[in-house]
Every structure is written in structure tokens, then in C-alpha cells.
Amino acid sequence: MGSVCRELPTAYLRRLNPNPLHAVLFAPLRALFWLVGSLPYPLLYALSDGLALVLHRVLGYRKAVIQGQLEACFPDKDEAWRRKTAAAFYRHLSDLIVEAFKFPRMSRAERFDRIQIDGLEHMAPYGAAGRSSIIALGHLGNWEWGASGAERLLPHGIRLQGVYKKPTNPSLDAWLKRTRARHGMGLVGMKEVDAFCQERTDAYRAYRASGKDRLTGEEPFALVLIADQSPSNPRRSVWTEFMGRETSVFYGPERLARKFEMPVFYFESVRTGRGRYTFTISPLVMEPLEVEEGAITKAYLRRLEEGIRREPAHWLWSHKRWKHRKPEGANELD
């Protein structure tokens, strides 16, 4: 799933080597998803309230990380503000966890009632022209429920493809793909993104050149990339300013946009109520080869930072975002 699920018991499954017990090991987690996902919303959020209390007051989950990052990113705020924001973050994190369990069990009517998606009209012309694109977003709001956008893009001839880290447990992997496919979304492994984009781009160009209709499954896609995590290797990443700090960032969205000439859209998630979100798709960089190197990455980070500063409690502060120090000779964005 996403970062929310990395907070959950799936972590132990990811560390296992492939073996015949995978289905058995996954069964308890699948049962838990069914049980929690079947709860009515009042009980679901009562569970979330209890979880928030445990994470915040009992376990102090990553308390030093959260407080330290809030202090470094908001030096103008006082201690009372940081404590209040941290408490609000724990409540938001707990809601995200139970909502991740709920999403696979939500009906279409529930999704359309609780999730509003604006800006689809910006992508429609690209779908009609057969041009694939990139949707860049961050761990702000509820990125898991953003998968609901897939079923609303399909009428525009665009298939949503999420990029994910494949779990080592094949039963978990198959379940993730099934739950996403139910909403019209595909998944492609991080190591296979380039080959996937190249294959689809070549196929589309061949069909266009031949004058024939494109085959089912060769429709344009929108590649969903969450790019605000901390890169594992600071020497292979690029460095720029984000949230007022020197930050190593992924260059993947910009690299792919330039390589395959894909326009880039920004996907913003705003919580409008408990269990209710508005997602907005807006143009970021439409012609990637017409802007200077680094412009796409900086535009993405600027939009993300604006959203974080508007709703600071709704970003994933428990992630150790600034765990690397800038090495000598690091790649920098001007």
C-alpha cells in the first residue's frame, strides 16, 4: 500500500523471503482488513480515537522525530503551537490508518459521497489526444483514498497507474493489485517504471503511425508518483531547499517527464471533514522539455510546501525526512 501501511503489520511480511507460507502469513492481516473495514463509521473513528491516544500518550510514537522536525520547519512558532500541532497529527495519522483499512470495503456510492475530485477537466484533453502524463503528490491529506480518482479518469480514456514498492509476499502483492484494480487503477513496480513507460509510449506511437485504433489496454496512462520521501542514498539524489531546510529529494518525476515528454499535474489532498476529502488536480508543467533543468522538481516542492504550511498537521511528520546530511559534491538544483 503506501506509507500508511508501512505503519501497520505489513512490515514483517515485507522482510520475509518467499516461501510456501506466504498465503498463511497474510491471512491474519487480510482478516483484519475485512474486520476493521466492515465497521460503521462511528465505530471506525472511535477506534481511531483510541489508537491516537495509544500512539501519542502511551507509546510516544516517534515523538522526538515529530517534535524535532516541527521545530526545525517552523522556527517562528512557539512550543505550545508545536505540541498542539503534534497532537493533531497523531489524530490525523490514526484516521489515515483506519481509513486505509476502510477503503477496500467502501462502496462506489460511499466513495462518491465522501471523496470529491476537482480538476479532471485539465487532464481530459490529454486523454483524448492519447498523451500519457504524470500525477505528482506528497504524503499530505489522504493519499491512499486518492486511488478513487482512477474510476473517474477512465471515462476520459486515462488509466491511473500507481508506482509502488513490491512486497516480497506474493499473496500481499496480489491482494494490493486486486483492491486497486477494483477502482480501475493499475500498479507498476518501482524497478519496472521505465520499461512500462517505454513499452506503452512505443505502442501508442506505433498505433498512431499506422492509422489504426489503439488496442484495449494501450490507452494513455497517468503515472502516480509520491516523491516527498527521504531518498535512501543522498549521493544519488538531488539537493534543494524545502520547508526552509536543505533537503535531498527524488528526481524521478522530472526524469520520467523529460524522458517520455509527459506533462506533469499536481494532486492536492485537502481534508474537509472526518472521512471526507477534496482532491484537486491542477497543471504543474505541461511541456517538460521547454523548462530549465530542475524546474519541475522545484515547482512540485513549492506546491507541496504551500499545502503543508496551510495544514501542517496533515503531513506525515513521523517519517524521518531529514535524516541525511548533505555530502560533499552533492547534486544541487540551482
188: cell is: 507498476
Q: What is the pTM of this model?
A: 0.88
Q: What is the reported pLDDT for 218?
A: 62
CB-based contact 68:118 (threshold 8 Å): no
pLDDT at 56: 98
Give domain limits for the chain.
Answer: 3-332
pLDDT at 269 (0 to 100): 96
pLDDT of residue 254: 96
pLDDT at position 20: 54
The reported pLDDT for the residue numbered 240 is: 95
| Residue 278 backbone phi and psi in degrees, to 5 | -115, 125
| Strand segments (E) across the chain | 115-118, 133-137, 159-164, 185-189, 221-226, 238-242, 245-249, 264-273, 276-285, 331-332
pLDDT at 72: 97
pLDDT, residue 329, reads 85
Q: Which residues of the chain have pLDDT under 50?
A: 1-2, 4-18, 214-217
